[in-house]
Chains A and B, each alone.
Chain A
Amino acid sequence: MVPVNYYIILSAILFTLGALGVLVRRNPLIMFMSIELMLNAANLAMVAFSSVNHSFSGQIFVFFVIAVAAAEVAVGLALIVQIFKSKHTINVDDVNSLKG
């Protein structure tokens, strides 16, 4: 059986990759994929702990996360489409009209 630490390390790596992706990329699609990566990193950690602790709550939580992720993507993609319609670009740096 694979020790739980391995999962945690993999999860941490994935999360860091995701976080970096969100921070450095300009394309919102990529940013979404990075966010997905972070979410799934968390999912991995929770599933791992769930199996260690013989408790279902971690797995149940994962389902919620997946559902929320799906909803988030749906809303996010719709937003991107609308932004593209009005600005003719999806570069997030060009979308800064909320500047203070």
Chain B
Amino acid sequence: MHLSETISSGFLFLAPWLVFLPLIGLLVNIVFGGRMSENLVGGIASAFSGAAFAVSVLLAYSVSLAHGETLRWTLAEWIHIGDVSLDWTFRADSLSTTMMLVVSGVGTLIHIYAIGYMHEDVRFKNDPARFRRFFVFLNLFIAAMMILVSGDSYLMLFVGWEGVGLCSFLLIGFWYEMDTLARPSWSNSKAAVKAFVANRVGDFGFLIASFIMFWAFGSFQFDAVFAKAPEIQTGVILAITLFFLVGVAGKSAQIPLYVWLPDAMAGPTPVSALIHAATMVTAGVYLVTRSAPLYSSVPEAQNIVALVGAVTALFAATIAVGQYDIKKVLAYSTISQLGFMVAAVGMGAYVAGMFHLVTHAFFKALLFLAAGSVILGMERGHHHLAHGHGGHHGETFDPGDMRNMGGLRKTMPVTFWVYMIGTLALAGIAPFAGFWSKDEILLDASHHSQAVYWLLTIAAFCTAFYMGRQIWMVFFGEARHEAAAHAEESPKVMTVPLMILAALSLLGGALNLPFDGFHNLGHWLGHTLGEVEALGLNLQVAGISTALALLAILISWLIYGRKPLAKNQSDPLESFGLLFKGMNRKWWVDELYQFLVITPYVKISHFLADVIDWRFWHDWFHETVLLGAYNWASAIGLNVYADQKGIDAFANWLGAATQRLSAATRKVQNGFVRSYALSVFLGVVVILGYLLLKP
């Protein structure tokens, strides 16, 4: 507020509406959605998400009017106690508005796509009533994500950070009573819980970092922290940045916490596109970029971040090569690409990281949505068969298994073409968007660290290979399953967003071309991150990466394209034996975690609960020791020595005497009122007689 009052703050007052608008959409759907048609429900959700996009545009415009100054808008106070003073303050600067635009822009497109997708999905799974719930969750996600990117302090960022984690949980577990093949199972809900818990492990790191930060800096507010950073010991900042890295690993699916993201594909495909590819998982990249002044002051932390990102990029890319599920390939590809971004921001190449974040949001959302279109196409084909022949009901059919596909370019032409565009962008072929952003990262890496550079380059090679493999397996050759032969193209409501995203994937590179005068994004982000020297096009780096990508596509053609897989034919790569098996089984990381973390935790907690707490402490100590000691003391310690001989005898005598006495006197109590009254009168007479005759 202080600064922004002096400059024209434009449409800043709209900032809270970034959050309110999706929330209103959500409430409208909760309250009235039950009586509205599906199109209206989806339309309302999309409209409010679109309105948030409009607000983002206005905010970005305001920032540019203010020449890139940071604008703040305080809505209300939040936690004010002791030295803590936290407000609900919204922040608009070039970095946050970029994120807002990506989130709400891609988000709105995915909302629209989801109207078509969910219409069919809820019917294939026999629960049309759940249509509304999907859009409620989706709007909630947009609201949470907006809090994340528009917060002016680490704590407000954290609110959005966990909020999107919640939405991720809800949406992964959207079909909570089944598995990905719609059979009754716990597996989808397990995936949801896994995602939330893995995220919470990251959040633990975030919390610790924020505690250290508060007691060192005295504030959570971004600018206050950055202003004080030079006075603080580097050790403290190193601790903060490394604990933040734990949070980043959780949210942005980096080693060692990435394991939740592949399982997250249990959610409906628009969710995978929106949350687990384009927006939420990039929150970690945003956090590091946002904390640029902290990371830049400790090179050790930067190196670790870059290395984590690069190793993740390669590791996940190898796993992607061995997957058969169309979404799993994309999931590991997402982890790999996130590794690129994290490596970039770790090296201090914030603009390159953010650039890749933006282009990746375009092409990965495109790929996921197109994959969803493929899956629905397969479902339609299968449905068609099931009704046509009637013999397919008992068989479980996996519409996402690439081994069932083949030849889809003929039946689903639009999907095929947009998928091609997405693939070329992801593989890094000029002039598609991915080429420019990935090249910028590789160029930075080649300046900073050879290890990171080569890790990323090999990862880029793998990327092109697994995408090539996917294209050949899915769209070329002949159908390997009747469902693929009868697959049908998706409706307009789905294909139009795909085409828009395809256009963005094609042209997105124009945001930040490596030529003088075209560093638009770099210049724009420079307002917030500080102006950096823009790198030109390095022909050597670009050449190597392009050549490798083309080579990888060529190899994939040799293996899968030249001689397409036949029905029930095993993958030619299986001849690599253990290597392929490792890729296919995800290098047994899940099993390792099961063995190292989950089983011990379950065992320990059961041991504590059953043995220590219940059998030892509750039953043995309390029931046996305490109660037993009490009984023993009262039975033996007192009874034998004192009771029976002394007190007991006396008490017995006393009791017997009382009994005899009362037996004698009980006759007086004959129960007749008259006789009682008479005795009263006699008593009166006696007393009166005594008083009168008293000498």
Contacts and interface: CB of A to CB of B under 8 A. Distances in A.
Q: Most chain-B CB neighbours within 10 Å: which of A31, A95, A98?
A: A98
Contacts of A22: 674, 677
Nearest to B667: A100
Nearest to B681: A19
A86 interface: no
Contacts, number: 34
A23 B668 contact: no
A34 B662 CA distance: 33
A22 B681 CA distance: 10
Contacts of A95: 671, 673
A8 B527 CA distance: 115
Contacts of B670: 96, 99-100
B683 to A, nearest CB: 13
A96 B671 contact: yes
Contacts of A92: 672-674
Nearest to B676: A98
B561 to A, nearest CB: 102
A11 to B, nearest CB: 15
A97 interface: yes
A95 to B, nearest CB: 7
A72 interface: no
Interface string A13-44: 00000010011101000010000000000000
B669 interface: yes
B671 A23 contact: no
Contacts of B668: 100
Interface string B644-685: 000000000000000000100111111111100110010000
A63 to B, nearest CB: 25
Contacts of A100: 662, 665-671
Nearest to A20: B681
A87 to B, nearest CB: 13
Interface in A50-77: none
A31 B678 CA distance: 13
A98 B666 CA distance: 11
A23 B681 contact: yes
A26 B107 CA distance: 96
A22 B668 CA distance: 19
Nearest to B662: A100
Interface residues on A, range: 10 to 19
A51 B68 CA distance: 106
A24 B667 CA distance: 21
Contacts of B665: 100
A71 B666 CA distance: 32
A96 B669 CA distance: 9
A24 B662 CA distance: 28
Contacts of B677: 22-23
B476 to A, nearest CB: 98
A97 B669 CA distance: 10
Contact of A23 (B662, B666, B669, B674): B674
A19 B670 CA distance: 20
Interface in B72-124: none
Q: Which of A24, A97, A100 has the most CB of B within 10 A?
A: A100
Contacts of A93: 672, 674
Contacts of A31: 673
A99 B678 contact: no
Contacts of B667: 100
B79 to A, nearest CB: 63
B671 A99 contact: yes
Nearest to A22: B677
A69 to B, nearest CB: 17
Contacts of B666: 100
Nearest to B669: A100
Contacts of B671: 95-100
Nearest to A25: B674
Contacts of B673: 31, 92, 95
B681 A99 contact: no
A97 B673 CA distance: 11
Contacts of A23: 674, 677-678, 681
B642 to A, nearest CB: 35
Nearest to A99: B671
Nearest to B673: A92
A19 B681 CA distance: 8
A73 B92 CA distance: 85
A96 B670 CA distance: 7
Contact of B669 (A19, A24, A26, A99): A99
Nearest to B671: A96
Interface string A78-100: 00000000000000110111111
A99 B662 CA distance: 13
A34 B565 CA distance: 118
Interface of A: 19, 22-24, 26, 31, 92-93, 95-100
19 contacts: A19-B681, A22-B674, A23-B674, A23-B681, A26-B674, A31-B673, A92-B673, A92-B674, A93-B674, A95-B671, A96-B671, A97-B671, A98-B669, A99-B670, A99-B671, A100-B665, A100-B666, A100-B669, A100-B670
Given A24-B674, A92-B672, A99-B671, 8 more contacts: A22-B677, A92-B673, A92-B674, A96-B670, A99-B669, A100-B665, A100-B668, A100-B671
